[in-house]
Structure 1
Amino acid sequence: MNTARRPERRTELLAAGAASVTVVLWASAFVSIRSAGTAYSPGALALGRLLAGALTLGVICLVRREGLPPRSTWRGIAVSGVLWFGFYMVALNWGEQEVDAGTAALVVNIGPLLIALLGARFLGDRLPPRLLAGMAVSFAGAVTVGLSMSGGGGSSLLGVVLCLLAAVAYAGGVVAQKPALGQASALQATTFGCLVGAVMCLPFAGQLVGDAADAPVSATLNMVYLGVFPTALAFTTWAYALARTTAGRMGATTYAVPSLVVLMSWLALGEVPGVLTLAGGALCLAGVAVSRSRAGDVRAAAPEETEQRAERQETAPRPEGAETPK
């Protein structure tokens, strides 16, 4: 039995490692967006990021000789590309220019909650108590971080609506991508999703050319970084992990992002966090730890495993003359 569980345990560790890479790179994206966003408009920044990501992923696909994903997955990849790679990035970039960082964090962080609910409704994912409890703790931490970072008078109704739409698009994109990963590889799903998002953002090509002509080199390098690492690499590791766990559990993992953003802003930008911000970040991490715990799942699965074992014993061949257990 221990030997049989080793491959499963190895898969779990690889998925957890991939999710960790995703979370760290997505957290770093917030710092880069703040830099590049001063020189690039929301649509231009999204298009430049997606073009850099698509080029990187295309080269990797050629080297690995990845073909087209199965036709049955095209719909899910296309929906994910439109909602998550395209609409989400533009709406989030635009929303963060209309509201302060704290308000944006508050609104966008309803995304993992929506993922869990949509996953239960459309994918049949279970909502174990530990997942719900962990998400509640993490959301409380996100609210604490957001309130500590919010500035007076920095919000607008348009910005709040844009961040809300970004959260909905994020959740919808994840739920659409999950079934496609049953047949397509993580690299295929990410590459073609990124291509779909880039095509969707092509109307911003004129803005991208104009902004690039006036942007400082540091802003352009940040845009390229966003495409290569938080997009090409992080979305691929996300897809790898998502294929091996539920959408709700993966969504809950992203609650570690706010605490890492606080830490990176402290180290990279010299923005010293307050006590309330640090407390909120600690809550986010604690909630992720609870939601990723499998103890609740094991208890829930135990009765089912016992029943299946009993059925196998009843249907197993018996020696001649042996009595059926009463």
Structure 2
Amino acid sequence: MTNSPRVLPLAAAAVTVVLWASAFVSIRSAGDAYSPGALALGRLLAGALTLGCFLLVRRAGLPPRAAWPGIVVSGLLWFGVYMVVLNWGEQEVDAGTAAMLVNIGPVLIVLLGSRLLGEPLPRRLPAGIVVSFAGAVAVGLSMSDEGHASVLGVLLCLLAAVGYAAGVVAQKPALRHAGALQVTTFGCLVGAVACLPFTGQLVDQAGRAPLSATLNMVYLGVFPTALAFTTWAYALARTTAGRMGATTYAVPALVVLMSWLFLDELPGALTLAGGALCLAGVAVSRSRPRTSGGAGAGSAGPATGGRPGRPGP
């Protein structure tokens, strides 16, 4: 009975991780037919329609006024900016590389969570930042001989990580006042409204795109957006932003496996090494110093009550 409150948030986080990993592969597949803004808008419209149906069935209604600042900010930065920039970045680098770079986000979440939400700051965060930055540099150098576009892709993925981190931290206070379904639905709507300038591109490209690309876009809206963002918000409401950020550790490994199986893509050795450094930096920033007893365990970071290095709520 004491563990039962942890089971559902853990399961929700696992669903999110798997579906978000698949999103990197679907974005890469649909990116040949859809421009970054059009793909983001189509994904958000499909997601908003799906979420809206669930909202009506559940009769959840409008979120309270106190939740709207967080919903609007997370909608603009995470559903809007993040999705457009990530789509653009994945047109320049492979899915596995993009996933490794975006997963610098948990370090940024811990920084922002400490500054804005008052969550504990891990002692090893500076070392983790240095390691992650070295990994990002290694990835950039590994791709620099492929032309400026690849370096641009690295920078876009890092910008996506900033949007993701800021969106998570903005979403956390909103979940104190509204349910996960409400926060996700209206955040998705805010992102869709922000992407409306791409309507012309979406209409034009949808008429010429192969069915597989359009189905990938719809899949992105229904599963990695509508379902996965809701399960994420459900778990986030029950733990800290920093700890939820750590649940994405597994995403790059899953993306590399999926992109190898479905896209026949595999990052080069130096790119993989740089991506591993990025993730190692996140792990270092989230780790706990060894202590002689259990008295100091609570000072290591936002994963209050958790075990060293164990992701998830």
Cα distance 1:58–1:48, how it changes in 2: closer, same or farther (>3 A)?
same
Cα contact 1:23–1:254 (8 A) shared by 2:
yes
Distance 1:200 1:50 in 2: 10
CA RMSD of aligned residues (A): 3.5
Aligned with residue 262 of structure 2, among 268, 287, 292: 268
The answer to which of 94-103 and 36-45 deviates more is: 94-103
Cα contact 2:129–2:285 (8 A) shared by 1:
no
Distance 2:256 2:53 in 1: 33
Counterpart in the other structure of 2:238: 244
Counterpart in the other structure of 1:115: 109
Distance 2:178 2:242 in 1: 20
Distance 1:103 1:273 in 2: 7
Q: CA deviation at 1:105?
A: 4.3
Instruction: After TM superposition, list the pairs within 5 Å mapping 1:5-44 onto structure 2.
Output: 6=2, 9-44=3-38
1:165 aligns with 2:156: no
Q: CA deviation at 1:42?
A: 0.5
Distance 1:207 1:134 in 2: 44
Counterpart in the other structure of 1:50: 44
The answer to which of 253-262 and 93-102 deviates more is: 93-102
Q: CA deviation at 1:267?
A: 2.5
Q: CA deviation at 1:193?
A: 0.1
Counterpart in the other structure of 2:195: 201
Distance 2:217 2:274 in 1: 31
Counterpart in the other structure of 2:146: 153
> Which amino acid counterpart does residue 153 of structure 1 have in structure 2?
E
Of all paired residues, the percent bearing the same amino acid is 67
Q: Secondary structure at the match of 1:196?
A: helix
Distance 1:25 1:285 in 2: 23
Distance 2:225 2:173 in 1: 20
Aligned with residue 65 of structure 2, among 71, 74, 87: 71
Cα distance 1:11–1:30, how it changes in 2: closer, same or farther (>3 A)?
same
Cα distance 1:269–1:281, how it changes in 2: closer, same or farther (>3 A)?
farther
Q: Secondary structure at the match of 1:153?
A: coil
* More helix, by proportion: 1
Cα contact 2:78–2:167 (8 A) shared by 1:
yes
Cα distance 1:115–1:290, how it changes in 2: closer, same or farther (>3 A)?
closer
Cα distance 1:239–1:252, how it changes in 2: closer, same or farther (>3 A)?
same
Describe the superposition over 1:283-304 as per-residue Cα deviations: whole angstroms up to 9, x where unpaired: 95997699599x99x644679x
When normalised by structure 2's length, the TM-score is: 0.80
Distance 1:234 1:107 in 2: 20
Q: CA deviation at 1:256?
A: 1.4
1:91 aligns with 2:85: yes
Query: Which structure has the greater CA radius of gyration?
Result: 1
> Which amino acid counterpart does residue 74 of structure 2 have in structure 1?
S
Cα distance 1:256–1:129, how it changes in 2: closer, same or farther (>3 A)?
farther
Cα contact 2:96–2:252 (8 A) shared by 1:
no
Cα distance 1:292–1:245, how it changes in 2: closer, same or farther (>3 A)?
farther
Q: CA deviation at 1:108?
A: 2.6
Describe the superposition over 1:168-190 as per-residue Cα deviations: whole angstroms up to 9, x where unpaired: 21111111100111121111100
Cα distance 1:46–1:124, how it changes in 2: closer, same or farther (>3 A)?
same
Alignment length, in residue pairs?
Answer: 295
Cα contact 2:137–2:274 (8 A) shared by 1:
yes
1:258 aligns with 2:238: no
Cα contact 1:41–1:207 (8 A) shared by 2:
yes
Cα contact 2:100–2:278 (8 A) shared by 1:
no
Q: CA deviation at 1:24?
A: 0.7
> Which amino acid counterpart does residue 71 of structure 1 have in structure 2?
R
Unaligned stretches of 5+ residues in structure 1: 304-326
Cα contact 2:74–2:167 (8 A) shared by 1:
yes
> Which amino acid counterpart does residue 114 of structure 2 have in structure 1?
A
